[in-house]
Amino acid sequence: MTLDLLIQQLVNGLIVGSFYALIALGYSMVFGVIKLLNFAHGDIYMNGAFVGLIVFSFVGIWVGNGWLGVVCALLVSMLAVGLLGVIIERFAYRPMRNAPRLSILITALGASMVLNGTALALTGGRHYAFNTDLGFAGVDISTVHITYTQMVLVAASIALMAGMQAFVSRTMYGKAMRAVSIDMGASRLMGIDVDRVIALTFFMGSALAAGGGVMAGAYYGSVHFFMGFIMGLKAFTAAVIGGIGSVPGAMLGGLLLGLLEAFGSSLPFVGSEWRDVFVFGTLILFLVFKPTGLLGRSVVERV
């Protein structure tokens, strides 16, 4: 592998990895707090992209198709889809909170199908163009071309994740979140409004996924109802690699997975058709040999 190729795949890995990390973060936070694998998370990402596209086309009338439009779309979509996450938690998950783990898992699958099916029905399965005029301008390092959009994208997702990490580790609400994830019952006894903390977790996780969706939609230029499926699976893998329940773990897992994909598909004698075999093979290896992931702590079953 030449140096150019190495740098190019590094860039590729970082970009796709930052999307994985953003989505994985929501997976991880929700799992950390209520021990639920929120399978609807990939669909939340998809909804975020659609809301973003609608806002983008709407504000585009006044502000054009440039950065300002994307930022507007990002903010509105994060807010709206964050609220959608809260609504899903309120009506689909909260009534199941004391039910067996399997029931709530099935509810999550159901929620995923409702979101996915609604999007299919509303869009007719069409692929919508998300045409920005951000362009392909950028800097060249030897033969490697890195666009400004790509740089902003990685920077924005790192900023979002850093903000999230600061929120969880520095603020009162973050402390409450961590407390609930350690012991929900004890937190309630200490006067923490557990329902509110859980709702907040869903809001933040969903908002991050929506942010990822808008950025992916604007970057790749296309939005469709099925885009959340593979993204959801990969983000789940990223969360497991990093250690599900851990915020820094999700970021690390996302970036590692992106790099693994990029380099895995450029290995000699291995075609790109093997990429997903790498990804999900890694998932299985982690689940078997290190289910707590790289940065996770072991989850003690409470009796």
Q: Give the residues lining the site for other proteins (CB under 8 A).
A: 2, 4-5, 8-9, 11-12, 15-16, 19, 126-129, 131, 136, 143, 145, 147, 216, 220-222, 224, 226-227, 229-231, 261-262, 265-266, 271-273, 275-276
Phi, psi at residue 145, to the nearest 5°? Answer: -105, 120
Least distance in Å: CB of 13 to other proteins? 8
Q: Which is nearer to other proteins, 118 or 272 (CB)?
A: 272
Nearest CA to 158 out of 255, 18, 9 is that of 18
DSSP-derived secondary structure for 150-208: HHHHHHHHHHHHHHHHHHHHHSHHHHHHHHHHH-HHHHHHTT--HHHHHHHHHHHHHHH
Computed on alpha carbons and rounded to an integer, the radius of gyration of the chain in Å comes to: 19
Nearest CA to 253 out of 299, 204, 219, 292 is that of 292
Q: Which is nearer to other proteins, 146 or 299 (CB)?
A: 146
What distance in Å separates the CA atoms of residue 68 and residue 219, rounded to the nearest whole number? 14
Q: Which is nearer to other proteins, 176 or 208 (CB)?
A: 208
**Residue with structure tokens 């380099």?**
263
Q: Which is nearer to other proteins, 100 or 271 (CB)?
A: 271
Q: Which is nearer to other proteins, 163 or 221 (CB)?
A: 221
SS3 38: coil
Tokens representing 202 are 């869903």
Q: Which is nearer to other proteins, 36 or 241 (CB)?
A: 241
Least distance in Å: CB of 136 to other proteins? 5
Least distance in Å: CB of 287 to other proteins? 21
Least distance in Å: CB of 266 to other proteins? 6
223 sits in which H/E element: strand 222-223
Least distance in Å: CB of 169 to other proteins? 30
Least distance in Å: CB of 248 to other proteins? 23
